[in-house]
């Protein structure tokens, strides 16, 4: 059993498919994704609703990661 | 009218139940919500409960009528699987690396809040893709957990290989049916990207057979990375890692050759019991229970004292599973009789130095 008093956890933030569009709208980036105006930070592939896999904060910008697993494996934050 | 129907069919015993039906339903609902809250609370501490929940939710969530359960089903399945594995493996890894996982759903956030949070948001696919969701979550979770604060200093090939190696081990243990999916979906693309990883994975596999991967290798390179973080030695990390790996391999080779000839203690050259690196140094102390237990403890305490005299800062003490109680005695004796060393960690081993399943380890660090 986990130590009841040791409640520190590793949090993973996730968005489900059913919440994806409202979430993108709340971030004001839905139009950009819909119109194909953004691309994957790592491979440069155009991002659309189907191939969007992750969102990454980078400085003052929101970056997009595609569903190519090679791009997902670049993800890490200290 | 219901009473009349019951009497007509000779079911008069049902009348009082039917009359009290609203009250029974109310208590039923209250009991259900209380039970659900209690189970959710318990699931925080016993990850297997989360896995049980997912076994109820997942089949339901695949039916159209229960689509709303899909988020709960996905979360319970991933959290339950990952946390059960962590419960099993966490005590092998450096302290504080593997903490229980929590999935936090986001659905509404301003771009300012997203940037302030400075957290990656990953997309979790519908329940039909749950196997891919699971392997992705395990991989991403370990990628996030490994080498806290030193990630950027560890060379990418070793960072990647250690996460891949551990992900495969966890998936094989918890969901062996997903091992092939993991290899095709995550491992293969990574090897395509950097073929060197295969060679590194083979080496990890080899040192893990005698428990040195989690016990020594990960702890040592993390310690080196923490030391060189803000020094010019930072660029020496790749060489230092290769040398630590080579030292462990040489030590194991000599030990295994000695075991074959039935005299392993003499087969390891004196200089291989320790490694004096440019950044850190460490030594090994392998416990083997002697015929006279009391004198045996003293012999190990004396070796620990010798290590202090030789300037060894980090001393790893390993015991086999079958001799756990004697190993415990030795660890306690060193802790109390060698005050120059501080016991910083006690950990479990997947395999002991003889290659048997289980085992116990401890790390002493010079005060």
Give dist(CA B283, CA B32) in Å, integer: 57
Give dist(CA B165, CA B100) in Å, integer: 19
Mode of pairing for the β-strands spanning B101-105 and A10-16: parallel
Identify the band that residue B345 occupies on the pLDDT scale cut at 50, 70 and 90: very high
Question: Of B117, B204, B123, which is closest to residue B160 (Cα–Cα)?
Answer: B204
Question: Of A73, A76, A78, A71, which is closest to residue A41 (Cα–Cα)?
Answer: A71
Give dist(CA B49, CA B201) in Å, integer: 33
**pLDDT at position A76:** 59
pLDDT digits (tens, 9 = 90+) for B251-263: 999 999 888 887 7
Identify the band that residue B292 occupies on the pLDDT scale cut at 50, 70 and 90: low
Q: Which of A24-28, B76-80, B197-201 has the lowest mean pLDDT?
A: B76-80
C-beta of residue B317 within 8 angstroms of C-beta of residue B364: yes
Judge whether residue B274 has pLDDT over 90: yes
- List B residues 113-152 in contact with A (Cβ-Cβ < 8 A): 114-115, 117-126, 136-137, 139-141, 143-145, 148-149, 151-152
Run of H or E including B129: none
**pLDDT at position B355:** 92
pLDDT more than 70, % of chain B: 92
Average pLDDT across chain B, whole number: 86
Q: Nearest chain B Cα to A17, which residue? A: B125
Identify the band that residue A78 occupies on the pLDDT scale cut at 50, 70 and 90: very low
- The verdict on a CB contact (< 8 Å) between A22 and B190 is no
pLDDT more than 90, % of chain B: 43
- The residue that leads in pLDDT, A68 or B302, is B302
A19 vs B: CB within 8 A: yes
Contacts of B47 by beta carbon, 8 Å cutoff, 6+ apart: A2, B79, B80, B82, B83, B84, B86, B87, B100
CB-CB: which of B44, B98, B152 is closest to A78?
B152
**pLDDT at position A7:** 64
Domain boundaries, position A50: 17-72
* ipTM of this predicted structure: 0.91
pLDDT digits (tens, 9 = 90+) for A1-13: 444 445 688 888 9
Q: Flag whether A24 is in a domain.
A: yes
Question: Of B113, B211, B201, B96, which is closest to residue B157 (Cα–Cα)?
Answer: B201
Rg (CA), chain A: 15
Give dist(CA B274, CA B288) in Å, integer: 18
Q: Flag whether A4 is in a domain.
A: no
Contacts of B238 by beta carbon, 8 Å cutoff, 6+ apart: B155
Residues of B in contact with A2 (CB under 8 A): 44-45, 47, 83, 87, 100
pLDDT digits (tens, 9 = 90+) for B136-164: 888 888 988 999 989 889 998 999 999 99
Q: Tokens standing for B157?
A: 């090939």
Q: What b-and-e string marks burial along B223-232, b requiring 16 or more CB atoms within 10 Å of the CB?
A: bbbebbeeee
Residues B253-278, mean pLDDT to the nearest whole number: 86
- List B residues 42-101 in contact with A (Cβ-Cβ < 8 A): 44-47, 67, 70-71, 74, 83, 87, 98-101
Q: Tokens standing for B194?
A: 């950097």
Give dist(CA B18, CA B16) in Å, integer: 6
Q: Into how many domains does chain A fold?
A: 1
Identify the band that residue B363 occupies on the pLDDT scale cut at 50, 70 and 90: very high
Closest approach of chain B CAs to the CA of A4, in angstroms?
7
Residues A65-69, mean pLDDT to the nearest whole number: 86
Residues of A in contact with B70 (CB under 8 A): 16, 18
Give dist(CA B159, CA B195) in Å, integer: 14
pLDDT digits (tens, 9 = 90+) for B71-130: 878 888 888 888 887 788 888 999 989 988 888 999 999 999 999 988 899 898 877 777
**pLDDT at position A2:** 47
Give dist(CA B53, CA B142) in Å, integer: 24
Contacts of residues B281-284 at CB distance under 8 Å and 24 or more positions apart, as own/partner, are: B281/B311, B281/B312, B281/B313, B281/B314, B282/B216, B282/B220, B282/B312, B282/B313, B282/B314, B282/B315, B282/B316, B283/B307, B283/B310, B283/B312, B283/B314, B283/B315, B283/B316, B284/B216, B284/B251, B284/B315, B284/B316, B284/B318
**pLDDT at position B199:** 94
Q: Flag whether A5 is in a domain.
A: no
Helices B130-145, B156-174: axis angle to 10 degrees equals 130
Identify the band that residue B61 occupies on the pLDDT scale cut at 50, 70 and 90: low
**pLDDT at position A77:** 46
The CA-based angle B186-B192-B198, given to 5 degrees, is 80
Q: Flag whether A12 is in a domain.
A: no
Q: Nearest chain A Cα to B150, which residue? A: A78
- The verdict on a CB contact (< 8 Å) between A78 and B117 is no
Q: Flag whether A7 is in a domain.
A: no
Q: Which of B123, B136, B222 to mutate to test the interface with A (most CBs of A within 10 A)?
A: B123
Q: Which residue has the tokens 């005050």?
A: B339
Closest approach of chain B CAs to the CA of A75, in angstroms?
8
Judge whether residue B185 has pLDDT over 90: no
Residues B58-66, mean pLDDT to the nearest whole number: 66
Q: Flag whether A11 is in a domain.
A: no
- The verdict on a CB contact (< 8 Å) between A72 and B136 is yes
**pLDDT at position B74:** 81
Q: Which residue has the tokens 């030292």?
A: B247
Residues B356-362, mean pLDDT to the nearest whole number: 94
Judge whether residue B231 has pLDDT over 50: yes
Helices B156-174, B196-208: axis angle to 10 degrees equals 60
Total-model pTM? 0.81
**pLDDT at position B66:** 64
Rounded (10°) CA dihedral A46, A49, A53, A55? 80
**pLDDT at position B46:** 73
Distance set, CA B16 to CA A62, B7, B23, B132 (Å): 64, 12, 12, 52
pLDDT digits (tens, 9 = 90+) for B157-182: 999 999 999 999 989 888 889 899 89
C-beta of residue B224 within 8 angstroms of C-beta of residue B240: yes
DSSP-assigned beta bridge partners for residue B351: B357
Q: Flag whether A10 is in a domain.
A: no
Residues B206-235, mean pLDDT to the nearest whole number: 93
Identify the band that residue B190 occupies on the pLDDT scale cut at 50, 70 and 90: confident
pLDDT digits (tens, 9 = 90+) for B80-92: 888 887 788 888 9
Judge whether residue B70 has pLDDT over 80: no
Q: Flag whether A67 is in a domain.
A: yes
CB-CB: which of B67, B102, B124 is closest to A9?
B102
- The verdict on a CB contact (< 8 Å) between B119 and A27 is no
Q: Which of A1-10, B30-39, B58-67, B175-184 has the lowest mean pLDDT?
A: A1-10
Is A62 in a helix, a strand, or coil?
strand
Q: Nearest chain A Cα to B148, which residue? A: A78
CB-CB: which of A15, A26, A55 is closest to B110?
A26
Give dist(CA B265, CA B262) in Å, integer: 9
Length, in residues, of chain A: 78
C-beta of residue B157 within 8 angstroms of C-beta of residue B194: yes
């Amino acid at each position: 059993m986990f130590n009841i008093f040791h409640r520190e956890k590793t949090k993973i933030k996730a968005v489900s498919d059913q919440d994806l569009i409202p979430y993108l709208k709340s971030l004001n980036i839905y139009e950009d994704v819909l119109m194909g105006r953004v691309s994957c930070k790592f491979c440069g592939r155009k991002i659309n609703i189907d191939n969007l896999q992750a969102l990454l904060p980078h400085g003052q910008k929101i970056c997009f990661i595609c569903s190519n697993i090679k791009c997902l494996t670049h993800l890490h934050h200290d | 009218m219901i009473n009349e129907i019951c009497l007509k069919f000779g079911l008069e015993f049902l009348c009082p139940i039917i009359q009290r039906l609203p009250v029974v339903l109310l208590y039923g609902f209250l009991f259900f919500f209380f039970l659900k809250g209690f189970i959710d609370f318990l699931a925080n501490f016993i990850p297997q409960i989360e896995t049980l929940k997912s076994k109820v939710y997942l089949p339901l969530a695949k039916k159209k009528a229960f689509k709303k359960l899909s988020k709960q089903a996905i979360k319970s399945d991933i959290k339950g699987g990952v946390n059960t594995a962590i419960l099993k493996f966490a005590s092998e890894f450096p302290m504080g690396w593997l903490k229980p996982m929590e999935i936090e759903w986001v659905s509404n956030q301003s771009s300012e809040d997203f940037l302030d949070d400075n957290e990656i948001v990953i997309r979790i696919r519908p329940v039909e893709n749950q196997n891919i969701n699971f392997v992705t979550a395990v991989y991403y979770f370990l990628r996030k957990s490994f080498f806290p604060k030193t990630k950027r200093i560890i060379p990418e090939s070793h960072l990647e290989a250690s996460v891949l190696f551990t992900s495969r081990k966890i998936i094989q243990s918890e969901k062996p049916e997903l091992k092939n999916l993991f290899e095709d979906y995550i491992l293969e693309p990574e090897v395509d990207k950097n073929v060197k990883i295969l060679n590194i994975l083979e080496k990890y596999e080899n040192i893990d057979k005698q428990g040195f991967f989690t016990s020594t290798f990960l702890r040592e390179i993390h310690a080196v990375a923490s030391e060189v973080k803000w020094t010019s030695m930072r660029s020496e990390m790749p060489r230092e890692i290769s040398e630590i790996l080579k030292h462990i391999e040489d030590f194991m080779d000599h030990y295994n050759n000695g075991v074959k000839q039935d005299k392993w203690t003499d087969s390891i050259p004196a200089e291989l019991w320790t490694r004096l690196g440019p950044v850190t140094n460490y030594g090994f102390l392998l416990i083997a229970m002697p015929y006279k237990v009391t004198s045996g403890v003293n012999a190990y305490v004396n070796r620990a004292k010798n290590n202090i005299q030789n300037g060894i800062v980090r001393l790893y003490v390993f015991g086999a599973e079958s001799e756990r109680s004697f190993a415990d005695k030795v660890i306690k004796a060193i802790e109390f009789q060698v005050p120059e060393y501080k016991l910083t960690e006690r950990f479990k081993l997947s395999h002991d130095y003889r290659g048997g399943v289980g085992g116990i380890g401890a790390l002493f660090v010079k005060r």
